[in-house]
Structure 1
Amino acid sequence: MAKAKPFRLETLLSIRKNVLNEKQGELAKAYEAERILNDQRADTEREIAGALDTARRMMRSGGIDINFLLGMRRHEAYLLAIVKDIDEKLVVVRKEIDVRRQAVIEANKEFKILEKLKEKQHRRRMRDLNVLDVKQMDEIAEIRAVRLRHRD
């Protein structure tokens, strides 16, 4: 019985798989960056809410310190600027996520094409080997039949 030939494009298939893994890793890093920015934004918004709550409590208690309130407003403006900066970074990161997601889709498509080609060639080769095996078995059967006739 003949052996199955190795897939001629195995190296290319391996390269495509590595590219796909690399693109998936890059996409994961972009998602991680988005998560970190979202966490920073949530932390900053909590800090703003806490500062506003502190200012409201001071105003309710009747002890209004103008310098303290001005400082709170400056701090709030600073925190709002941080939120704006984070939002701008999030826009950039989300665009990068879309680019990287498309790269993963494309790399996956290229990998799947080669993988299907490999499977198709393997099936074709197995079919050819089966045909060859049948022919060889037929030849062996004919030779045995001829030998048996000559013995008699």
Structure 2
Amino acid sequence: MKTYSLLSLAAVLFALANAAHAQSDDSSVRTRFGLVAAVSDPGQSKVTLNGKPIAYPNSPDFAVVGDASSLSLAKQFSIGESDIVLVIENSGGTACPMTYSFVTVNSKGATITKPVADDHCSDIYKVSQSGNKIVLKVGKKVFNYSNGNVR
């Protein structure tokens, strides 16, 4: 009887560990408007909403990150009727290891900002929400996201 109980306990712990790992996955995030996913393929890395590539604002071009070693979705925010997701592109190199973009998702669809970085493309960053804007500190440089724009 004790062997059966230990096997059951082991199975439950294994299932819980897998569930916790699935929730911490940084390649997709559920928004109010669907699933935003970071798809890292050599030469074709992109961010999608419900499986469809996201385009830059006012452009027919999809935001394809050609040489990204990996893409990750770092943090999600809600401002009004939009969900915003911070995307980090890791180039895998040393000259400019990280760039940062924001995906804005709302009832009209999704757009992504052009990537930003400090002068040294630092991989050290802090991000926080302050009212209706998101503040991204990369190295010594500060970027402000508001209404789909980064300044």
Same structural fold, with TM-score higher than 0.5 when normalized by the shorter chain:
no
Q: Quick check: which one's strand share is greater?
A: 2
* TM-score, length of structure 2 as denominator length: 0.24
Which is greater in Rg? 1
Q: Quick check: which one's helix share is greater?
A: 1
Q: Which has the higher contact order (CA 8 A, sep 6+)?
A: 1
